Every structure is written in C-alpha cells, then in structure tokens.
C-alpha cells in the first residue's frame, strides 16, 4: 500500500483547507439547527427574570406565568407618550434604546398594577443587568432582580442573591426631581428610604449597580412624574 507522504507541502496545504471547510460546515450546521431552541431558552429566561422582579419565582411554566402577570409591553418615547410594542418579545433592549425608546412592562399582580423596567450596566468583569418593579404610585419599589455574566463568586456575584435584591423593597425612587434610589458603600447608609448597603468586598460591582440604577431609571423620569 502506497504510504502517502504526509509531510509534503501540497498535502499539508490541501489537508489544512479540507479541515477548515469541514469544520466551518459542521459549526454552521449546528448553529442553524440549534438556534430556534436557544432563542426559545433565552426568551424564557428573560421572562423568568421579569417575573423575579415581581417577586414571583420557582414557577413551573414560565411562559404561562408571564402571560398571566405581564399585561402590556410598552415603549416610552422621549416626549413622554407610551406606545404598545408591536415588535415581538425582546430579550435585548439595545435596539430600542438606541432609538431612545424605553421598555416598560405593565403587570397585574393580584389586582394591583405594577411596572417593570429593564436595566443594564457594567460590573467589574463584564455586563450586569436587572429589572426593577414599581408599584402603581410609580415611586415605591415592589421588587428588584439583578444578574451578571462574570462577577466574582461570593463578592460581586452576590448582587444576584435574594438577600441583596430584597433590600430594595419598599424604597423610593424619586428624590427631589432626580433618581434617589442608590447603592452606597457597605455600612454607610444615611437615608434608609433611598439607599441600600453595597456588598462588602464587591465595591466595583456595587458601584456598577448604583450607576446602572441612576442611568437607566433616569430615562423614565417623565413617566414617574406624569401621573
């Protein structure tokens, strides 16, 4: 049997080209076949996070629970008017954000109206995001949910813990015409009505949450003050 010379230049080049083509095909094929499943998972996970901000967790059927509690997906425009979102469910808000339109989810929990606002920001190692739910008065926090991609476990990652998120309940958002809801250095809370203790050892992540709250909620001031 003739032994192929595996070290010749032409063989090496042809081999490398064939490998590249085969791998590219394999990966593209896998991606196309799995994409619908993945998108469905991402959508379900986003809905689960919105429900978590409404203090609803451990649901078996996320899609059904979402349809039950979240009534309207609206977009707030710069002039203060609300438009119903007709673009389907978004897991990523950057497109509308860049058009200066901000999502508001109007929900109905046990007969009370709640509003959920998506937040996104920057932590220490990567992006952080979350959802804040306000009561009908558009000022009192009903619930909060935060998550992150790669913050330090035990430190910055604690923003995803129920204990940290629970501290935001019943706090107020607006203070003197600006967003007063904030995260301060651990142990330095002055005004319990607006401030939450940051995470000891997770200063930069805590500051990230603080900046995220101020930046994102400021976009909705016209909605908060417009009763």
C-alpha neighbours within 13 Å on the C-beta side of residue 55: 17
Our finding on whether 37 is near other proteins (CB under 8 A) is yes
Our finding on whether 166 is near other proteins (CB under 8 A) is no
CB 58 within 8 A of CB 66: no
> Which residue in the set 17, 21, 26, 136 belongs to the binding site for other proteins (CB under 8 A)?
26
Exposure b/e, 134-159, CB count within 10 A at least 16 = b: bbeebbebbbbbbbbeebbeebbbbb
> Which residue in the set 17, 21, 28, 38 belongs to the binding site for other proteins (CB under 8 A)?
38
> Which residue in the set 1, 2, 7, 176 belongs to the binding site for other proteins (CB under 8 A)?
7
- Stretch of residues binding other proteins (CB under 8 A), selected from 10-18, 73-81, 164-172, 184-192: 10-18
> Of 146, 52, 46, which Cα lies nearest the Cα of 91?
46
Pick between residue 151 and residue 210 the one whose CB is nearest to other proteins: 151
Our finding on whether 21 is near other proteins (CB under 8 A) is no
Structure tokens of 127? 């992006």
Pick between residue 9 and residue 98 the one whose CB is nearest to other proteins: 9
Pick between residue 57 and residue 81 the one whose CB is nearest to other proteins: 57
Site map (CB under 8 A) of other proteins, residues 90-129, x = contact:
----------------------------------------
Count of beta carbons in the 10 Å neighbourhood of residue 188: 9
- Report the phi/psi class of residue 140: left, alpha or beta, with left for phi > 0 and alpha for psi in -120 to 50: beta
Our finding on whether 61 is near other proteins (CB under 8 A) is no
What are the strands, taking DSSP E only, across 49-111?
70-76, 82-84, 102-109
Count of beta carbons in the 10 Å neighbourhood of residue 63: 13
CB 143 within 8 A of CB 169: yes
Pick between residue 38 and residue 218 the one whose CB is nearest to other proteins: 38
Interacting residues with other proteins (CB under 8 A): 4, 6-7, 11-12, 15-16, 19, 23, 26-27, 30-31, 34, 37-38, 41-42, 44-45, 149-150, 153-154
């Amino acid at each position: 049997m003739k032994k192929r010379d595996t070290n010749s230049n032409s063989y090496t080049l042809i081999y490398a080209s064939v490998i590249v083509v085969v791998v590219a095909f394999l990966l593209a094929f896998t991606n196309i076949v799995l994409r619908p499943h993945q998108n469905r998972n991402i959508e379900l996970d986003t809905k689960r996070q919105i429900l978590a901000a409404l203090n609803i967790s451990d649901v078996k059927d996320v899609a059904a629970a979402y349809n039950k509690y979240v009534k309207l997906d609206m977009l707030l425009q710069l002039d203060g008017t609300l438009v119903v979102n007709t673009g389907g469910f978004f897991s990523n808000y950057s497109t509308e954000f860049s058009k200066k339109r901000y999502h508001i989810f109007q929900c109905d929990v046990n007969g009370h109206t709640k509003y959920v606002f998506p937040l996104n920001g920057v932590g220490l190692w990567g992006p952080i995001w979350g959802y804040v739910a306000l009561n009908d008065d558009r000022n009192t926090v009903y619930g909060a949910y935060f998550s992150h991609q790669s913050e330090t476990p035990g430190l910055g990652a604690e923003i995803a813990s129920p204990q940290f998120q629970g501290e935001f309940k019943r706090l107020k958002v607006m203070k003197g015409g600006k967003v007063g809801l904030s995260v301060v250095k651990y142990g330095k809370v002055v005004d319990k009505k607006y401030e939450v203790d940051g995470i000891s050892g997770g200063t930069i992540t805590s500051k990230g949450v603080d900046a995220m709250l101020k930046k994102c909620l400021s976009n909705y001031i016209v909605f908060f003050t417009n009763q």
